[in-house]
Amino acid sequence: MVFEYAPAPESTKVVNLKTNYELFIDGKFVKSKNGSTYKTINPATEEVLAEIIEASSEDIDYAVNSARKAFKSWSKLSGAERGKYIYRIARLIQERSRELAVLESMNNGKPIRESRDIDIPLVAAHFFHYAGWADKLDYAGLGKNPQPLGVAGQIIPWNFPLLMLAWKIAPALAAGNTVVLKPAETTPLTALLFAEICQQAELPDGVVNIVTGAGETGRFLVEHPEIDKVAFTGSTEVGRLIAQAVAGTDKKVTLELGGKAANIVFDDAAMDQAVEGVINGIFFNQGHVCCAGSRLLLQESISDEFLNLLYERMKTLRMGDPLDKNTDIGAINSAAQLAKIHALTQAGKSEGAEMWSAPCEIPNKGFWFAPTVFTNVSLSHRIAREEIFGPVLSVLTFRTPDEAIEKANNTPFGLSAGIWTEKGSRILEVAHRLRAGVIWANTFNKFDPTSPFGGYKESGYGREGGRQGLEAYLKAGK
């Protein structure tokens, strides 16, 4: 091979891993009252990174009570003062961005290029944006003097560990709430590093509490009677359980759940950018993205041409060491997720779809899945309906705009969608008729703290980001 890239690994020296981590409650790292522990690993190597506590209901009780206690003073603090704490956090994240990016890639498996260039900068931006809201709540859309909800119980997924933390904590704090946040079972480390950042920012004790654990810990949190708000990002399946669990209570809920987004490419699309958008739509973060463009809807007249370009482009994707700066596709986050991807792709094959995978070398250790495309897919196939949450694209074709819209909307989900065409009026009409919360036209997988994000239908309810995201943590004043 000519000009073969030499390994360019990012150094892990910047990260100071402890052998075991405690819970962060009331401003301090504390031992669990009676919880067990588990090991968190690097999914690219299967090497153990640290021992983590699986918080018990007593631990959750302690954390929620600390948050409740802190709420009294935090909510009374002037918005301007609260804002200054949040600004501090934003700055500390920028200062420690390298460390956070490396740790994120180690624990999650995502390429350092993404954690460094996308995740962590967006985390800082999110805190920065909401810091400025703290003293402007009168303009949040709920009239004068809106009030915080109280204690927010927040549960986040493993695909964007620190970014999802930011989406949850930043608006909650700005609005005057205090939080108990549970990071995902497999990716607790950056949240625990964030706890240190809260200490460095001298955030008052109990305003942010980080409790680690798995589903059971999350359930304790959701069901805790002293929680006023539940914010969850994760699967639709768990979202449903949460919606049931909070039924009959006064708890407010926002849910960011699954998706099966259509990425619609019309015959007049800017072809190379559309190919790139489809790549970015489904292979960004190994496809571990709720809004991933997992269904490619191709206008039939260009499908061969487009797919050829797509395959050629996919051959250049570089899968491997997440810490290598030239890696495009990192590791699948866990053995369980890998098994799920295998199960669904197997279903795709047995249902008669044609599978093609990019020729990537699979490392010996760790969890990997090469970027994959299914053609000959029909809407009734499982791979066209269920969220795979991996680097797997299902290709469908359409003949007319109406048919494209009909197929795009033919799903219980409604999180996002993509439109590729150079015709302005078509973009606006298709965007208008798609039943999805985020429409990317001639781009895909873009995120910004000022831009509301969230789904229709079974993709959940409530919005995160922007003014709308702030409203989710406020109620009207008396």
Q: Report the DSSP pairing between strands 229-233 and 438-441.
A: unpaired
Q: Which of 62, 283, 440, 473: binder of other proteins (CB under 8 A)?
A: 440
Comparing CA positions, the residue from 230, 178, 231 lying closest to residue 208 is: 178
Shortest gap between Cβ of 422 and other proteins (angstroms)? 4
Q: Which of 273, 357, 375, 410: binder of other proteins (CB under 8 A)?
A: 273
Residue 379: HSE in the Cβ half-sphere, 13 Å Cα cutoff? 14
Q: Which of 36, 48, 81, 141: binder of other proteins (CB under 8 A)?
A: 141
Shortest gap between Cβ of 121 and other proteins (angstroms)? 9
Binding mask 287-326 for other proteins (x = CB under 8 A): ---------------------x-------x--------xx
> Which helix or strand (DSSP H or E) is residue 37 part of?
strand 36-42
Shortest gap between Cβ of 231 and other proteins (angstroms)? 15
CA dihedral 220, 242, 168, 333 (to 10 degrees): 90
Residue 19 or 424: the one with the smaller Cβ distance to other proteins is 424
Residues of this chain, 322-351, that bind other proteins according to CB under 8 A: 325-326
The piece of 1-9, 77-85, 211-219, 385-393 that touches other proteins (CB under 8 A) is 1-9
- Show the beta-strand stretches assigned E in 198-349: 208-210, 229-233, 252-256, 262-265, 295-299
Q: Tell whether residue 7 is a contact of other proteins (CB under 8 A).
A: yes
The piece of 24-32, 60-68, 352-360, 445-453 that touches other proteins (CB under 8 A) is 445-453
Residue 283: HSE in the Cβ half-sphere, 13 Å Cα cutoff? 28
Q: Tell whether residue 137 is a contact of other proteins (CB under 8 A).
A: no
What phi and psi values does residue 151 have, to the nearest 5 degrees? -100, 125
Q: Tell whether residue 442 is a contact of other proteins (CB under 8 A).
A: yes
Binding mask 102-121 for other proteins (x = CB under 8 A): -----------x---x----
* CB of 201 closer than 8 Å to CB of 89: yes
The H-assigned helical ranges of 351-440 are 382-385, 401-409, 424-433
Active site residue 291: no
* CB of 267 closer than 8 Å to CB of 299: yes
Q: Which of 99, 386, 387, 458: binder of other proteins (CB under 8 A)?
A: 458
Q: Tell whether residue 219 is a contact of other proteins (CB under 8 A).
A: no
Q: Which of 235, 438, 470, 473: binder of other proteins (CB under 8 A)?
A: 438
Q: How far apart, in whole angstroms, are the C-alpha atoms of residue 111 and residue 183?
A: 20
Residue 59 or 228: the one with the smaller Cβ distance to other proteins is 228
Q: Tell whether residue 466 is a contact of other proteins (CB under 8 A).
A: yes
Q: Tell whether residue 359 is a contact of other proteins (CB under 8 A).
A: no
Q: Which of 51, 272, 300, 406: binder of other proteins (CB under 8 A)?
A: 272
Q: Tell whether residue 366 is a contact of other proteins (CB under 8 A).
A: no
The piece of 192-200, 293-301, 356-364, 451-459 that touches other proteins (CB under 8 A) is 451-459
Q: Which of 276, 335, 376, 410: binder of other proteins (CB under 8 A)?
A: 276
Shortest gap between Cβ of 449 and other proteins (angstroms)? 8
Q: Tell whether residue 448 is a contact of other proteins (CB under 8 A).
A: yes
Tell me how far CA of residue 70 lies from CA of 61, 67, 273, 277, in angstroms.
14, 5, 49, 45
Q: How far apart, in whole angstroms, are the C-alpha atoms of residue 430 and residue 402?
A: 9
Q: Tell whether residue 135 is a contact of other proteins (CB under 8 A).
A: no
Q: How far apart, in whole angstroms, are the C-alpha atoms of residue 268 and residue 72?
A: 58
Catalytically annotated residue among 99, 256, 387, 464? 256
Q: How far apart, in whole angstroms, are the C-alpha atoms of residue 224 and residue 57?
A: 9
Q: How far apart, in whole angstroms, are the C-alpha atoms of residue 251 and residue 229?
A: 5
Q: How far apart, in whole angstroms, are the C-alpha atoms of residue 32 and residue 46?
A: 26
Q: Tell whether residue 91 is a contact of other proteins (CB under 8 A).
A: no
Shortest gap between Cβ of 474 and other proteins (angstroms)? 11
The piece of 83-91, 262-270, 349-357, 358-366 that touches other proteins (CB under 8 A) is 262-270
Residue 19 or 316: the one with the smaller Cβ distance to other proteins is 316
**What 8-state DSSP symbol labels residue 119?**
I
Q: How far apart, in whole angstroms, are the C-alpha atoms of residue 332 and residue 416?
A: 22
Tell me how far CA of residue 187 lies from CA of 151, 360, 422, 471, in angstroms.
23, 25, 40, 28
Shortest gap between Cβ of 10 and other proteins (angstroms)? 9
Q: Could you tell me how many residues of this chain bind other proteins (CB under 8 A)?
A: 68
* CB of 278 closer than 8 Å to CB of 393: yes
Q: Report the DSSP pairing between strands 252-256 and 460-461.
A: antiparallel
Catalytically annotated residue among 198, 290, 291, 360? 290
The piece of 81-89, 188-196, 213-221, 464-472 that touches other proteins (CB under 8 A) is 464-472
Contacts of 156 (CB under 8 A, 6+ apart): 164, 165, 168, 181, 182, 183, 184, 191, 232, 233, 234
Active site residues: 256, 290
Q: Where along the sequence are the contacts to other proteins (CB under 8 A)?
A: 1-8, 113, 117, 125, 141-143, 236, 239-241, 243-244, 247-248, 250, 255, 257, 268-273, 276-277, 308, 316, 325-326, 412, 422, 427, 431, 435-443, 446, 448, 450-454, 456-461, 463, 466-468, 476
